[in-house]
Chains A and B, each alone.
Chain A
Amino acid sequence: MSEVIRVENLHKTYRMGDVEVPALRGINLAIDRGEFVAVMGSSGSGKSTFMNIVGCLDQPTRGKYFLEGEEVGSLSRDAWAHIRNRRIGFVFQGFNLLSRTTALENVELPMMYNGVTSKQRHERAAEVLSLVGLGERLDHTPNQLSGGQQQRVAIARALVNQPALILADEPTGNLDSATSADIMSLFQRLNVDQGITMVVVTHEQDIADYAQRRVMFRDGVIVSDERKDTSVNRSERWSGPKASG
């Protein structure tokens, strides 16, 4: 099964009082394993709604959502929680780490909900923190970490249960450009080296350039779906060891 995500005729309508607001009006999309996709669109375009459904946080009004071949759009809340724990990793614009909690404990958090023993948790958490370059800062709390470092902790947390898919919502929105570049390089590295499928929501073209495919939302439908071809000034970002992370 090479498809990680498949949505068919996805609709989502919100009810605000008497008014019905259609946020998604028939989305058809398939994303393969190992792809790096940027989702773009202005606010109100439906991209956030789409991400919520793909992330098993919300239910479509109509249509189907297949995750790794399994239809998950209408599963129970508990089943969704399991999926979010094991198969999807989230990275948010605001990092969303627990305050007054060490980096190690933050990364361990998903494992506390699937019964991993204390020793295994520590080991695994330390492992992924090294992977993202924070091996020295296991016992730092968020207020002792820079924005970029906090986001790395969040990325480590998203990776800790070996998900098939990482969903990132404006992951560099709160970071300066240099740090943003670091984070996006890290995403690239994870995508290429670990084969993790990446879906990143952004409204910045610079950030979208790190992806291979760009899907554009407008008014609840997809208006474009382009694959990037490697042009001259992109090749820098593809060279392996030089990419900082």
Chain B
Amino acid sequence: MTFRIALRALARNKLRSFLTMLGIIIGVGAVIAMVAIGEGAKATIRAQIASLGTNVLIILPGTATQGGVRTGFGGVNTLTEGDAKAIREELRSVAFVSPVLRRPEQVVAGNLNWNTLVQGVAPEFQYIREWQVAGGRFLHDGDIESDAKVALLGQTVVRNLFGNDDPVDAVIRIRNIPFRVVGVLAPKGQSSQGADQDDTVLIPYTSMQKRLMRITHVQTIIASAVSADRVQEAQEQVTLLLRQRHRIQPEREDDFFIRNLSDISEAASSSARVMAVLLGAVASISLLVGGIGIMNIMLVSVTERTREIGIRMAVGARSRDIMLQFLVEAVVMAATGGSIGILLGIGSSEILKFWANWPTLVSPIIVAIAFLFSGAVGVFFGFYPAQKAAHLDPIDALRYE
């Protein structure tokens, strides 16, 4: 009953009701849109990191205090293929292992050349990195054993050296050594650091060691854990094993460094989350301002409708009826404003997605919270005006000009 009274009262002055709602509309719309942008960014980052392979550990030479050897080119030669083999054979929590050696090289095909990143890897690399083959085949154990001169090309390399032609069985030259193309990699896209993952050539790591680099150690080892919840266990076991193999005294530091990709993913997610929270906080402030707007307008409204309140009391409205009426008016205004704001926010997110190509993700939880929050704003900021209205003296109210 009170609901109907409140709705009729709001409808009586539609323009004023709308203007009052404007603050909430904009506030809620902004919250929804900004959080959608934040969520979209988070999802994109997560997807990019996932494309590096899940449950992956990266083992680098050098100590943690050396700065983690970001470039992967350690100055220290402590990792060997023996280490990789041991990790593979002895540790139950590790599923796949591959040594990785990398160097930028110029690759020649016919009369075209292209500068790319050549990586020496083992066959299990494809499982760790979850990288499919688009044509031909991946490296196999025979290639490793025989230091074979075979290669797989990433999509970018194929495009730049072979155009639309199929490069399988073609010959490319690296440092003037001919390599036969045995396969083409599926596209991978950009890494989370912005590098083009398709701009690469994969060859057997033994070929890399002996033919291109002339070294006996390996630069890095990557491994994948059996499952996501065993990554920590795998990391610990690898640490123990390598300390043992490298004969590191208990009181000395590791001469290697293990990076856990899920840590990186967490770090990126948490910074995106912080951004989203900040944006949400700023937008929430505008919601609060919207609430203050409601309170102000309602106070004015109570004053303007003093006579009306007197009439209602004269025909039998109790204090509580008046209080409820104005509270409901405030909540209805806030909730309606919130709903319009939600639609506006979703609309803006969709527009950004289609026109500006920003990844946006509207979260239903945020929508529900925004709606409830606007209702709460209505109750909170409507309370004081409603109370004022309810405590008017009917005799004075009826006399009010």
Contacts and interface: CB of A to CB of B under 8 A. Distances in A.
B366 interface: no
Nearest to A83: B316
Contact of B314 (A78, A96, A99): A96
A109 B318 contact: no
Interface string A91-127: 0100011111100010001101111000000000000
B171 to A, nearest CB: 88
A62 B307 CA distance: 29
Contact of A113 (B12, B308, B317, B398): B317
A85 B315 contact: yes
A82 interface: yes
A77 interface: yes
B5 A58 contact: no
Contacts of B12: 99-101
B52 to A, nearest CB: 65
A57 interface: yes
A98 B321 contact: no
Contact of B316 (A92, A99, A100, A110): A110
B121 to A, nearest CB: 78
Contact of A81 (B308, B311, B318, B398): B318
Contact of A90 (B8, B307, B314, B317): B314
Contacts of B310: 96
Interface residues of B, number: 23
Query: Which of the listed residues B319, B320, B394 has the most CB atoms from chain A within 10 Å of its own CB?
Result: B394
Contact of B394 (A57, A97, A100): A57
A200 B215 CA distance: 115
Interface residues of A, number: 28
A105 B1 CA distance: 13
Contact of B398 (A77, A96, A101): A96
B395 interface: yes
A109 B315 contact: yes
Contact of A110 (B315, B320, B395, B398): B315
A52 B395 contact: yes
A214 interface: no
B5 A96 contact: no
B24 interface: no
B257 to A, nearest CB: 76
B315 A157 contact: yes
19 contacts: A52-B395, A57-B314, A77-B318, A78-B318, A78-B319, A81-B318, A97-B311, A98-B311, A99-B12, A101-B8, A101-B12, A110-B315, A110-B316, A113-B316, A113-B317, A113-B318, A114-B316, A115-B1, A157-B315
Given A57-B314, A85-B316, A98-B311, 8 more contacts: A81-B318, A82-B316, A84-B315, A96-B310, A97-B311, A112-B1, A113-B317, A114-B316
Interface of B: 1, 4-5, 8, 12-13, 307-308, 310-321, 394-395, 398
Interface of A: 52, 55, 57-58, 77-78, 81-82, 84-86, 90, 92, 96-101, 105, 109-110, 112-115, 157, 161
Which 4 interchain pairs have the tightest Cβ spacing? A85-B316, A110-B315, A81-B318, A113-B316
